């Protein structure tokens, strides 16, 4: 485990934010192990919270980007395609066959 000097060095280098409720001076006998464990646990918790928050934000940004991109792209494509198809045939006589739009001839009665 870390000695008191190493904890002070870490504190100076701001590797850990030292908890204010624990003693920073004097000897660490009896407190050394629990202090270091406490510091490690607190550091890991903060790191995990930051990473989780960042991951959630990135996922939301990706979702917004992809949804808006796909909506815009497919809407433009579909509108252009529909206009093109409706010019060649009225909407009521359109049929979907094997993934492509083809004109369906109406039988005259």
- pLDDT over 90 at 107, yes or no: no
pLDDT (tens digit per residue) in 2-56: 567 777 776 666 544 555 555 555 444 444 556 777 778 888 888 999 999 999 9
**Three-state SS for 39?**
helix
pLDDT band at residue 101 using 50, 70 and 90 as cut-offs: low
pLDDT band at residue 58 using 50, 70 and 90 as cut-offs: very high
Tokens representing 58 are 């990135």
Cβ-Cβ contacts under 8 Å for 28 (sequence gap 6 or more): 3, 4, 7, 35
Note the helical H segments in the chain.
4-12, 32-88
For residue 1, the model assigns a pLDDT of 47
Interhelix angle for 32-88 vs 4-12, to 10°? 40
| pTM for this predicted structure | 0.33
Burial of 85 (0-12, 13-18, 19+ CB in 10 A): middle
- pLDDT over 70 at 98, yes or no: no
């Amino acid at each position: 485990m870390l000695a008191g000097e190493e904890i002070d060095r870490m504190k100076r280098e701001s590797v850990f934010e030292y908890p204010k409720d624990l003693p920073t001076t004097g000897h660490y006998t009896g407190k050394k192990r629990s202090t270091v464990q406490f510091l490690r646990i607190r550091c890991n918790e903060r790191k995990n919270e930051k990473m989780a928050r960042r991951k959630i934000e990135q996922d939301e940004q990706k979702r917004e980007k992809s949804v808006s991109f796909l909506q815009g792209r497919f809407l433009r494509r579909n509108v252009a395609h529909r206009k093109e198809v409706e010019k060649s045939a009225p909407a009521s006589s359109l049929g979907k066959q094997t993934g492509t739009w083809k004109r369906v001839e109406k039988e005259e009665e």
